[in-house]
Amino acid sequence: MQLFLRGKWRDLSKKTEVVNPFDGSVIDTVPSASPTEITAAIDGLIKGKETMRNMPSHQRVEILRRTAVLMSERQEELGRLISTEEGKILAEGRIEAGRAAETIDLSADEARRLNGETLPLDSTPGGIGKLGFTLRIPCGIVAAITPFNFPLNLVAHKIGPAIAAGNAVLLKPASDTPLSSLKLVELLLEAGLPEEAIACITGSGAALGQAICSDSRVRKISFTGSAEVGEQICRSAGLKRVTMELGSNSPVIVLDDADPQKVADAIAITGFANAGQVCISSQRILATARIHDNLVDALTARIKQLTSGNQLDEQTHVGPLVRERDAQRVEEWINQAQRNGAQLRCGGKRQGSVIQPAVLANVTSEMRMSCEELFGPAVGVSRTETIDEAIRLANDTRFGLSAAVFTQDIDKAIRFAREVDSGNLHINFGTAWRAEIMPYGGLKDSGMGKEGPRYAVEEMTETKMVVIH
């Protein structure tokens, strides 16, 4: 596929291969852009931001609605593309394609809600006789830097609100999974988005990131990825508006009154979807003493039922990691944990980029698979004595994106919600659950700002204050 630059699909002499993570076969090639293309893209988007700023909201609504319809009509094609380039199983690819269409459709709703407010300036003596109101205006050019693990829906969560708010968009997709982004650009153009309003530049993030973040004409940066890269972006961005959706090592507290089988079933979904390559994947299981042994047994039995392998095989439950070196890292962290006293109850073996779904018991907070973001198909179970200790351990991390508790005690559930430092909190399910409409974002090193169409639109607009004297 080609990149999209200054209203045209263009090729470059330097190419990057996009490969199937399972077998390394080449799916397609994309141009490897340089900072020169980034500058050219922003040059072209200057006109695009004026086009979008002056476009009536009903036209933005129509473009987004048509895009959502096209995505729904091509859900199977998009789902298969997602699975092929990213490695998630076909069922998950289809779900992501459907969710992405929902995200675009919800964004259309927000294009109708860009209203300001009237302020009672006469609430102070100096404001008597004056009329004040606010206007919400688009930022201008929004840079969307997106991750590999949800190559369509997380792109939609940035592109949809940006268009709804009346911005032009510079899209830099993950170098491992650019095809889904390019396909979304095709559909947006087919739906009527002005050609000057979007650019999609493929290539290395390391090579292009600085050029994007340092250009003063980019007013807003929305990034999803690692905390380390997010910090670099913030340093380069200066006074730009930024939304950072970063990593986590999500804890799941399991109290004595929980049902071990229900917990195991939930963890099988929320800890192993997309081979654990989800920033809110259930990673740390903190089980109180009375339920611990039964939970480990139930969880082990449930995870043993998950098959791993070729993501395009309808019978596979857990596909490959996006790169073999990532699978090697996960394998090493599992081995490190065992060397330090953890017990491997099932899985953990690696073949190429595939890791068998793993459960480890006797995991301590000092082990890398516990204190860092694993991003792989394994969970670690730790024994805790009380809810106090469980909450302390849940908070004993630099991350705070998602957390969960299993209990039938409403008082303890509310205490969990109040005391655990996390942007997303789940009661009686695992951590990896998200509705497109909800405000989504983390605390601490898990980021800043919120996504979800309504909340992203707020982040992608600026407020003007008007006073009539």
Phi, psi of 278 (to 5 degrees): -135, 130
409 with 453, same domain: the answer is no
Three-class DSSP category at 439: coil
187: left (phi over 0), alpha (psi -120 to 50) or beta: alpha
229 with 264, same domain: the answer is no
The CA-atom distances, in angstroms, between 32 and each of 14, 20, 29, 319 are 5, 18, 9, 27
Structural domain count, the chain:
2
**What is the Cα–Cα distance from 338 to 366, expressed in whole angstroms?**
13
Three-class DSSP category at 441: coil
**What is the Cα–Cα distance from 289 to 293, expressed in whole angstroms?**
8
Nearest one of 4, 31, 38 to 16, comparing CA atoms: 31
C-alpha 133 chain-centroid distance:
35
241 with 98, same domain: the answer is yes
236 with 370, same domain: the answer is no
255 with 175, same domain: the answer is no
Residue 44 placed within a domain: yes
Residue 151, domain CATH: 3.40.605.10
Domain that holds residue 279: 251-427
**Is 207:404 a contact under the CB 8 Å cutoff?**
no
**What is the Cα–Cα distance from 345 to 358, expressed in whole angstroms?**
7
279 with 342, same domain: the answer is yes
C-alpha 263 chain-centroid distance:
24
Three-class DSSP category at 171: strand
Q: Write the DSSP string, 353-398.
A: TEE--EEEES--TTSHHHHS---SSEEEEEEESSHHHHHHHHHSSS
14 with 139, same domain: the answer is yes
What residues contact residue 377 under an 8 Å CB cut-off, 6+ apart?
Answer: 271, 272, 275, 276, 308, 318, 330, 347, 355, 356, 357, 358
91 with 233, same domain: the answer is yes
Residue 438 placed within a domain: no
Task: Give me the count of residues in the chain.
Answer: 469
Residue 50 placed within a domain: yes
Residue 124 placed within a domain: yes
Residue 437 placed within a domain: no
The CA-atom distances, in angstroms, between 253 and each of 14, 177, 396 are 49, 34, 13
Helix (H) or strand (E) holding 147: none
Residue 432 placed within a domain: no
Q: Write the DSSP string, 250-276.
A: -EEEE-TTS-HHHHHHHHHHHTTGGGG
261 with 407, same domain: the answer is yes
Which two three-digit tokens encode residue 295?
A: 């939970």
- Residues annotated catalytic, as ranges: 245, 279
Q: pTM for this structure? A: 0.97
What is the pLDDT tens value at each position of the chain, 469 positions in all? 999 999 999 999 999 999 999 999 999 999 999 999 999 999 999 999 999 999 999 999 999 999 999 999 999 999 999 999 999 999 999 999 999 999 999 999 999 999 999 999 999 999 999 999 999 999 999 999 999 999 999 999 999 999 999 999 999 999 999 999 999 999 999 999 999 999 999 999 988 999 999 999 999 999 999 999 999 999 999 999 999 999 999 999 999 999 999 999 999 999 999 999 999 999 999 999 999 999 999 999 999 999 999 999 999 999 999 999 999 999 999 999 999 999 999 999 999 999 999 999 999 999 999 999 999 999 999 999 999 999 999 999 999 999 999 999 999 999 999 999 999 999 999 999 999 999 999 999 999 999 999 999 999 999 999 999 9
Residue 266 placed within a domain: yes
Burial of 145 (0-12, 13-18, 19+ CB in 10 A): buried
Three-class DSSP category at 188: helix
464 with 406, same domain: the answer is no
33 with 93, same domain: the answer is yes
Residue 22 placed within a domain: yes
**What is the Cα–Cα distance from 271 to 374, expressed in whole angstroms?**
11
Which two three-digit tokens encode residue 388?
A: 């106090």
What residues contact residue 400 under an 8 Å CB cut-off, 6+ apart?
Answer: 248, 421, 422, 423, 442, 443, 444, 445, 446
Residue 376, domain CATH: 3.40.309.10
Of the CA atoms within 13 Å of residue 113, those in its CB half-sphere come to: 12
Which two three-digit tokens encode residue 401?
A: 């994106």
Of the CA atoms within 13 Å of residue 7, those in its CB half-sphere come to: 10
Q: What is the DSSP letter of 159?
A: H
214 with 91, same domain: the answer is yes
Helix (H) or strand (E) holding 22: none
